[in-house]
Amino acid sequence: MKHTPLTGNKTLNVRGLILGLAVAVIFLRHDATAAQAPVALGSADSFVILAKSGISTTGTTSIGGDIGVSPIGSTAITGFGLIMDPSGQFSSSSLVIGKIYAADYAVTTPAKMTAAVSDMETAYTDAAARTLPDATELYAGDISGQTFGPGLYKWSTGLLINADVTLAGPADAVWIFQVAGNLTMGSGTKVLLSGGAQAKNIFWQIAGGVGVEIGTTAHVEGDILAAKAIHLRTGASLNGRALAQTAVTLDANTITIPNTVTGSVILESAAKVTGQYTVAAGQSVNLETRTITVPTSGDMQFYRLRSDTALTITGISLSGGNVEITYN
C-alpha cells in the first residue's frame, strides 16, 4: 500500500527519488513489524469522557455515553445542568445520553471512579510504552493531508493536522500515535477512515504540556489519551473517547463512543405488520458509515436490525429507488 500518492509534478528529480526511497523503507519496516494490539482501556472503556480535574461545556453539546471526573468532585462538571438521581450515585443531563459520575457521589461511585481513572492512566502508560514503531518523525510532525496504514507511529515533537488525514486499513487494524508534544487540528479538518478501519482501534497518546486542541468544526476518529487537557472548539466532533489527566473543555460538540460491532449487521423486514421478520432482500451494509441500503418493495415495511450488539436505527430516507437506513 502506497503511503502517500505523488501527484502533479511529473519531473523526476533527486528529491523525488529520496522521498520515494523513504516511503519504501517505511513500508518495508511496517511489513516486518508485528501488528499492534489495541490499547486495553479496562473500566475506562465505559466512559466517553473521563477527566481528573473537570469537564466543562458551553453551547449545545451532545454526548453519547457516560462521563465522569475523579478525584475532583461534581462541582468541576459545569455547563451540563446536572440532575441528581435519587440514588445519589450519578446524575443526568439533557446534553448527555448516559450517566454522569463524580468522585463525591454516593457509594459505590467513588470506587468506580477511582478504578476508571486508574485504568485510564494504565492505558496511557501502555500506549506510551509501545516499542518498535513502524515510523518515527514522519513529515517533521506536520501530517496534514497524509494517509497512514495501520501501525505504531512516533514523534518527539508535536503533531499538526491542517488538512484531512486518512487512516486506511481493514476492520481489525490498529493505529497508535505516540506524540511527545501537543496535538493540534486546524478548523474544519478531519480524520477520515477507509478500507473498513474502525475508530475503536485508533489511539492518540498525547504527552504535551498543553495537550490536545481540536479546531472549530474539526472531526477526530479514535480514543484520545492525553497527559494534560483536551479542548474541542466550537462545533468540533469526536467519534471516540476523550480521556484526559487534567480537564476536558467543550463548546457545542458531538462526542460518541466508537461503534464496537465486530460481527455482521443484518436488516430484517416484515411487510405491513410487525410479525415474522425475514432478512431484507438485496441489502448492502456499510460498517464504516453505518448505512444499510435496500431496494424499495413498493409496500409498507417494518424494519429492525440484528447484530451481535445492541443497535438503534437513527434515520431512514429514500434515494434512487432505495431505502437508506442509518444506525448507531
Contacts of 150 (CB under 8 A, 6+ apart): 30, 35, 36, 167, 169, 170, 173, 174, 175, 197
Residue 181 phi, psi (nearest 5): -100, -145
What pLDDT score was predicted for residue 313?
A: 74
Would you list the domain boundaries of the chain?
A: 43-258, 265-327
- Tens of pLDDT along 146-182? 999 999 999 999 999 999 999 999 999 999 999 999 9
Mean pLDDT of the chain: 84
What pLDDT score was predicted for residue 82?
A: 98
Contacts of 38 (CB under 8 A, 6+ apart): 174, 200, 201, 203
Burial label, 149 (beta-carbon count in 10 A; 0-12, 13-18, 19+):
buried
Strands 159-161 and 265-271: unpaired
Q: Which residues of the chain have pLDDT under 50?
A: 1-32, 261-264, 274
What pLDDT score was predicted for residue 326?
A: 79
Neighbours of 13 (CB within 10 A): 9
What pLDDT score was predicted for residue 126?
A: 98
Q: Which three cell numbers stand for residue 70?
A: 475523579
